[in-house]
Amino acid sequence: MRLIKRVIKLKMSTKGRYGLRAILDLAIRYTGEQIPLNVIAQRQDVSENYLEQVFSILKKSGLVISVKGSQGGYMLAKRPEQITIKMVLQALEGDISLVDSSNTTDLTDVQSFLNTYLWNRIDSEINMIIEATTLEDLVHEYQTMNESDSIIYYI
């Protein structure tokens, strides 16, 4: 008998993935000054037009501020330690959940059991992590990772 290995992939949309990358880019370079969108797009290898749509959502959610003009751009509306990953993902993706829980009227006993004892627990764990993680946490981990990658050993 041949064992087939399968992997369950929980996929986030490009809007969520690119949006988190872009806002993390702002947090990594947080100085209280705006960064032009084309600079963020180039650093993150994302279409500037696509990022305009993403930043429009982030702006409406109160996570970024835009500054118009030739020296304009975007900056965080709050300090990186005040913005959680859940705030960013919820603005871009809506509620984060493995299964659609809007239709609970026609569930079988097994579906209801799985919702209660598995899917809701997984959702709860994911939400605990993204609620507890701030942009500042990611910046710190990013900087730590880059410092360890740049260590040069001499013999």
State residue 95's pLDDT score.
Answer: 85
* pLDDT, tens digit (0-9, with 9 covering 90-100), for 57-94: 999 999 999 998 888 899 999 999 999 999 999 999 98
The two tokens of residue 125 are 């764990």
Model confidence at 146: pLDDT above 90: no
More confident site: 26 or 8? 26
Q: How confident is the model at residue 148 (pLDDT cuts 50, 70, 90)?
A: confident
- The matching CATH number, chosen from 3.30.420.40, 1.10.10.10, 1.10.1760.20, 3.30.450.20, for 14-149 is 1.10.10.10
Contact 73, 39 (CB under 8 A): yes
Question: Any idea how long the chain is?
Answer: 155
The pair phi, psi for residue 74, each rounded to 5°, is: -125, 150
Boundaries of every domain in the chain:
14-149
Rounded distance, CA 115 to CA 123, Å? Answer: 10
Q: Which residue has the higher pLDDT, 105 or 109?
A: 109
Residue 84 near residue 44, CB atoms below 8 Å: no
Residue with tokens 């965080």: 76
Q: How far is CA 93 from the centre of its chain?
A: 9
CA distance 25 to 18: 10
